[in-house]
Amino acid sequence: MTTSPDTVDSTTAAGGRLRTVLSAGERPARATAVSATLTHLWRAMMAFKHFPVQLIDIVLMPLIFLLMFTYLFGGAFADSTEEYLQFYLPGVTVQAVVMMTVYTGTSLNTDIHKGIFDRFRTLPFWQPATLAGSLLGDVLRYVVALATTVSLGLLLGFRPDGGFLGVLAAVLVLIVFGFSVSWIFAALGVVASEPERVSGTSMIVLYPLLFMSNIFVMPETMPGWMQAVVDANPMSHAATASRELMHGTAGFWDVGLVLCVSAGLVAVFAPLTMRLYRNKNAH
């Protein structure tokens, strides 16, 4: 190979500089599980910072639902659209968060097949930190979705009797709920061969769950068996808790139930997802 003299000079210089930046012998102690998780959370935050446009996609869906249901069906479902808005807004926030959790599954699936994950897998840190960090990062999406939905609601005439604190409490409970549900879709995201599979499967499960709940209408006019389904549906519990917190009528049990369901979901799906991820590595 022919190399011009200046090429030789510059690469030799690079070689010289390189020798000085090798971390000769320095070997830090293994990163703790917490610090590895926080680093992955930081990775998710930086990715949002560099590509904020993705947040727009996230907020559009709940806004469309809010406008559509309030003005299209609101008058039919309740005495007036304003009255329906008071009922529907706390429900649509549940819907907003739960639909966001599907994004968690699809984006995890896309992410997992990228080259960077090979590198993660060869580093000696607590491997589930990769999943925990990115799921925590997705909490940001829930916050954004909730903030825009509630803000638009307020503009349209939503008047929560629970005041600011009531709304804030509802938002916090929904974030916990969303984070818990996201582990279900994370499990799907880990096993699925492609992101379309994740979103396809998720929507088939999710839409019936969303509609067979008390998010849109109360179940009084439904047939008995359907009422049973609605009452058992965790989406209904979340919507009830959200409604009661926003309107200042929250009972201890309704909120407690949602938190228990959330804890249960995490207890089952977090270890399952981590296990699936670990086994996926071992092919």
The residue ranges that bind another protein (CB under 8 A) are: 1, 3, 7-8, 11-12, 14-15, 17-31, 35-36, 39, 42-43, 46-47, 50-51, 114-116, 118-125, 281-283
Cβ of residue 196: shortest distance to another protein, in angstroms? 20
Whether the CB-CB separation of 174 and 93 falls below 8 Å is answered with: yes
Instruction: Kindly report the number of other CB atoms within 10 A of residue 129's CB atom.
Output: 23
Q: Chain-centre distance of CA 268, in angstroms?
A: 17
20 vs 193, which CB is nearer to another protein? 20
Residue that the structure tokens 């070997």 belong to = 27
46 vs 203, which CB is nearer to another protein? 46
Q: Is 32 helix (H, G, I), strand (E, B) or coil?
A: coil
Inter-axis angle of helices 163-191 and 81-112, to 10 degrees?
A: 30
Cβ of residue 11: shortest distance to another protein, in angstroms? 4
Cβ of residue 205: shortest distance to another protein, in angstroms? 29
Cβ of residue 136: shortest distance to another protein, in angstroms? 15
49 vs 223, which CB is nearer to another protein? 49
Whether the CB-CB separation of 93 and 242 falls below 8 Å is answered with: yes
159 vs 280, which CB is nearer to another protein? 280
15 vs 223, which CB is nearer to another protein? 15
- Report the alpha-carbon distance of residue 140 to residue 41 in Å, rounded: 10
- Report the alpha-carbon distance of residue 279 to residue 145 in Å, rounded: 33
Cβ of residue 115: shortest distance to another protein, in angstroms? 4
Cβ of residue 132: shortest distance to another protein, in angstroms? 13
126 vs 211, which CB is nearer to another protein? 126
Structure tokens at 64: 């469309």
Residues 6+ apart with CB under 8 A from 203: 102
Residues 6+ apart with CB under 8 A from 215: 88, 91, 92, 94, 95, 235, 236, 239
